[in-house]
Chain A
Amino acid sequence: MNPKWTVWLGGALLAAVIAAAIYLPALRRQVNKAKDLTEKTAEQARRELLPVAPVSTGDPMVKVNMFWGSRGQEGELVPVTVELPLSRDPVLRAKQVLNTLLAGPVDAESRTLPPDAALLAFYILPDGTGIADFSDEIRTSIPSGIQSEQLAVESITRTLEANVPQVLRLKILIHGQEADTLAGHVDLTQLFRVNARDAAGTQLDNPSPPGSLLPAPIRKAVDTMRKATKRK
């Protein structure tokens, strides 16, 4: 090959390498941006598929207390008053306040629950036991630790106590299943006391089947939910 052509070829290759070195980081940024966009879209799609608690426009706007984290005091909850068209039906009411709690406060630092978690279902049993079924994100996206998990559960129970007096105690499920812990620390096998009127507390007299801390009616409801989730 002519030495002149060799020089030209070498020069062209060098130029290509320099161009690639400049362009590749920009390409990488674009790919990452596109990936984030896809993830957000998937999350949005999932949220759109979830049954949203119907809000009746006929219901009057009511001031409700939501319990979010305190900015000043570490590990404390503070009531924040917001206005909602709150339903009279206790189940819808519970769904409304829990969805508002999940949507989070204006100040992201006061959040107690992960922003991508969703309430999948909520039931109230005749004995006043509420069953809240959350998506997996409540376990996977929550900051790990006793304090943060305790704060998450307390924000749910205190918000329900303030706004849905029919719920006396609460069972938390994750994706229709009974979970051992929230994220490795706080025990979810038990019932959480919501209302002071629940004199029996979390220790109900109903017999539990072996291997379960749950009283029989609640166990039955959990099993029903589990079957429904499997069918989906």
Chain B
Amino acid sequence: MALRFGILLVVRFCSTPWQLLASGMLGAALCGVTIAWAVPAQRGGAKTVQATANSAPSPSSGPSGSQQASGNLAAQAPRTGLNVVVLDPAHGGTDPGARGTEGITESDEVLQFAFATKKALEAQGFQVILTREGNDDPSFDDRSARANAQRGAVFITMHIASTGLTGTARVYVEPDAPAPSNIPGLIPWDRAQTPFLSLSRKLGDLVQQELSKRFKGSPDTLQTAPVRQLRTTAAPAIAVEISSVSVKERAELDRMVPGVADAIARGLVDFRPTYVVPNNPFSGGGAQP
């Protein structure tokens, strides 16, 4: 804008045709340089999304198959341990999730579990990020992006089912999938979880053990399921599902809150020493034996 204004000023004060021609050429050259600088930057932004330690990818632009979440996030950067826990209370906004007795909705109830878990984790020295704190509904990709933007993060999505044995809790991880063969060092956004599966299983096992100690009837081992929220998360990621919104009274669910929060915090404390951010996630490294 300033350039254009400047050119107009030059034109106004031109006295000869040569000056007019010269100022026109100068303006055209400046426009050319500006366009040449801007176009490659736009193209680069559409193709890849770099999920680096300090910059979040832009999921709002709709991560397509061609978009990439950075895999070897700064291979030269020093290895760090577990720093951040991203807690994801599922659903929200116009999506209430499971609906049960006494007007219980999954989206409301799961927030109570998330707040209590945040408190328990902070008491253990973890930095905690919530994907939502009110009745809003970020997209799957926006939620994943909160974890993908961090270095040394884990992601826990929290759900309350409408079925299942009341008073139990289960941990889910993504099923095995072969590593995508795309650009070396970059992970396709759609398969961001793949390189972190072994770490996710390790984390899931530890949390499930703690949950089964506290909630009788819960499985001893973790389950696998293709949970949509986990697929695009480039960090160790688990889903915790509590049963259920179909309790006779809300107090039954409320009684589970401290136990679930403590089990997750304990599981993460046990997981912390074994977690090393992989320099190259495709190498399968990360968890120490």
Contact = CB atoms under 8 A, between A and B. Distances in A.
A212 interface: yes
Interface in B156-178: 159-165, 170, 172, 177-178
Contact of A147 (B65, B99, B163): B163
Contact of A150 (B140, B162, B225): B225
A210 B66 CA distance: 5
B55 interface: no
Contacts of A203: 177-178, 180
A107 interface: no
Interface in B116-166: 140, 159-165
A181 interface: yes
B266 interface: no
A147 B226 contact: no
A146 B190 contact: no
A71 interface: no
B164 A145 contact: yes
B239 to A, nearest CB: 6
Given A186-B225, A187-B227, A147 B64 contact: no
B231 A185 contact: no
A184 interface: yes
B227 A144 contact: no
A50 B162 CA distance: 30
Contacts of B178: 201, 203
B91 A146 contact: no
A173 to B, nearest CB: 16
A70 interface: no
A145 B163 contact: yes
Contacts of B64: 210-211
B162 A144 contact: yes
B159 A185 contact: yes
Contacts of B241: 145-147
A115 interface: no
A163 to B, nearest CB: 23
Interface in B230-256: 231, 239, 241, 243-244
B84 interface: no
Nearest to B176: A201
Contact of A144 (B161, B170, B239): B161
Contacts of A148: 161-164
A192 B106 CA distance: 27
B106 A144 contact: yes
Given A143-B98, A144-B97, A211 B226 contact: no
Contacts of A213: 65, 190
A187 B231 contact: yes
B228 interface: yes
Contact of B228 (A143, A185, A210): A185
B95 interface: yes
Given A186-B226, A210-B64, A143 B95 contact: no
19 contacts: A144-B99, A144-B161, A146-B159, A146-B227, A146-B241, A147-B241, A149-B225, A180-B228, A184-B91, A184-B97, A186-B227, A187-B226, A187-B231, A192-B226, A201-B177, A201-B178, A202-B177, A211-B65, A211-B66
Interface of B: 62, 64-66, 90-91, 95, 97-99, 106, 140, 159-165, 170, 172, 177-178, 180, 190, 223, 225-229, 231, 239, 241, 243-244
Interface of A: 74-75, 143-150, 180-181, 184-187, 189-190, 192, 201-203, 208-213
Given A148-B163, A180-B140, 9 more contacts: A74-B164, A75-B164, A147-B223, A148-B161, A150-B226, A185-B227, A186-B227, A189-B190, A202-B177
